[in-house]
Structure 1
Amino acid sequence: MISLPSIIGNIWASSTIFSHVNHLADSIGPRITGSTGNTQAVSYLEDQFNNLELKVEKQLFDVDIWSYEEVSCNLGRQSIKAVPFGYSSPGEIEGSILPLINPNLKRLESYKFSDKIVVYLNTMGFMSAMGGRGLSREDLIAKSEEKGATAFIEVTNKPGGVIERRNLKTSSSIPSVAVSLEDGHFLLRNQKDVTLTVVGQKKTVSGENIIAKTKQSTEKKIILNAHYDTAPESPGAFDNATGVATLLELARVFSEFETLPFSLEFVGLGASKWHFSGAKKYIEKSLEQQPRLAMTFDNTAKPGGTRNGVLTNDMHLFGVTKKLVSDFGFDINLAPIPIFGTDATQFHKRNIPIFVINQWKSPTFMNTPYDTPEKLSADSLKNSTSIAGAILANIQNISRMDKTRKNKA
């Protein structure tokens, strides 16, 4: 019989949960899809699952990524560090800049983009800056290209010289890069001709999902997942060694039971940074039947504190989680909404109930070389993992969710 207090106590007593974060971020480091670090992370997950005597299989798939050999940005003799967005086209561009500072959506049409290098700074957030409607980064790049701009430079809205490395959701046909907040202000102050060089190529590499299953097979299947890959140069402690640690800890705790009233699949997702390719491939190839629940762990330890975020698209699960938070004093934010921009979105699109642990506000070091374990709270990781364990231990959720779904049908 599964005892909810014993599950929570087991997790809080764990001496190994944060060691997964240390190993992935410190011993392995950056885990870019197709890299040696990525392969080492796959082997680590496979070893951990095998040690728990779970049934382990690999799922291979092709991923198109961009690899960049040279990136430079120069204003006169001043060299500025620039980081290309993944899926940015290469090119060598020279020209004058067009400053776009908190552009209003209505006024965007009046700007003269032709033959300009756009330097974009948004200090207000997309919804505010764009008149409440919102334009994504990809929309703004496409608009710049449509109007004749030759390149796109986004100023990172984070102080301290950091540049967050991100991939575009759609390919860009003009060179598109990010610079630090400080260098961006330098560009905007001087407004001289800029030379931007991006040398890179598109290539196909192998992505891998690691799937570990409990031995018993029932109709009630729950999927637990976390991506293990990182942005370039980032050790990825916060994003997402913490999520992997939660996944492995729950695998340890629940593999100790000889029988469970549900089947569990623990999935280490690859290539999340490349359009959530691992989650899409897993759903395409492995979901023969609709699962009862998909739990996604994405950034499950907060720096300097214990409060994290839990989101769900299922109102019954929201109510149950709210009661557990009250009964056991879990220190989390809770919201009855789906989350976008994570692997969980792919399950949500399939009308699968989702439960997501995610940091609502990203720290400044996310997707940078400064994403290291010492910035994170071990108690926050245990707190987040405990609430996920409590949901799994509270078995009646599954049958009630089934009844709710049948009534809706």
Structure 2
Amino acid sequence: MKRTLVLTVCVLLTAGAVAAQTIFPAERLERVKQAYSAGDEKAREAVAALEELAGEYLDREPVYVTQKRKLPPSGDRRDYMTLSPYWWPDPAEPDGLPYVRRDGERNPEVYDYPERENSGLLGEAARTLALCYAVTGEERYAAKCAEWIRGWFLDPERGMNPNMAYAQLIPGRTTVRGTGIIDSRRFCYALSAVAWLRGSKAWSDEDEAGLRRWTTEFLRWLEESENGRKEICSANNHGLWYDAIRLMTVAWLGDRERARQIAEHSLAPRLAGQIAEDGSLPLELERTLSLHYSTFALEAVALSAELTADTGYSLWSYRSPEGRSLEQAVAYLEPYYREPAAWPHRQIKPFDRDRGARILYAAGRALGREEWVRTAGEIGCRPEKSDCLSLLYFDL
């Protein structure tokens, strides 16, 4: 498969009944469509690469939340369930229970719980297929995308219940936790695909109404459940992603005012409280994958900035009374995106420089810092194979 050029941060989603931000800035998507229609060589090459990837999803059956061997504690196969990745059997206990934490080391048992992989597959498949439809107008892409989305969210027998009560379980431990909510970002990415399906014969008014009901119920669970009330108090990347996930749902539902409130009154001060005077994120520096998690935290905020770009509030422009800002955090990380080997903190696995370049590109465009845009290009984000993000940066 041909490789395309620079990617940028994965920025979400669509609002329901009103026009709002989608997964990509509208002007970028329109630029691709125009270039493709005009026969631009780079655009044609990028679309061909994306269609090759889309072909993989056209040829396979959708995934469902019920494709699991083990039942969740509720006994309902439609409840999402995964294993917390960094918890392992305790070697000091005959039965290994309760599990103990080994930060940054993924227990292979997580792959016995297919929702983790399947929800990510859903998000990528839906976005890829829908974007192919948006650019080419070919109904086969819209039809398959709608099939995937209906299967995960709306199927009466196999569709997911709108909760994350059993996400990232820890064997031997029964305390209610909110940390598994972060998993939901993967399937929430699929919501963004619906904006491009509207107008296709493959996506009906009934589908739209059903997904709106599901999303409304899921948002209610996020904010009212014990799990959600715990996660909203998280001080590290989990708290940032909790707000980003709420924004994914609120933006899809089309509530701009609510989106602005979440960004301005929850996410922005939460971010400021995590940034040190030098721009670092101390709670992420404690991790064994500290460059990864520092970047992961900023990805949540950059995503949220895109979701709220049409609300009149800018997370990129936010400055706390102490001077803390998203720009300050990016500036701290920028030298290490260029040279990850110089990172002075623990990073027990290689860092994916593509992710750093995406942050720099998004920050550079938002803040008018062309040097960051150039650095992103110099890093040269080239994924091993094309993905849905690659298309929008065909000309870089």
TM-score with structure 2 length normalisation?
A: 0.26
Bigger relative CO (Cα 8 Å, ≥ 6 apart): 2
Structure (1 or 2) with the greater strand fraction: 1
Computing the radius of gyration from Cα coordinates, the structure with the larger value is: 1
Whichever structure has more helix as a proportion of its residues is: 2
Scaled by the length of structure 1, the TM-score of the pair is 0.26
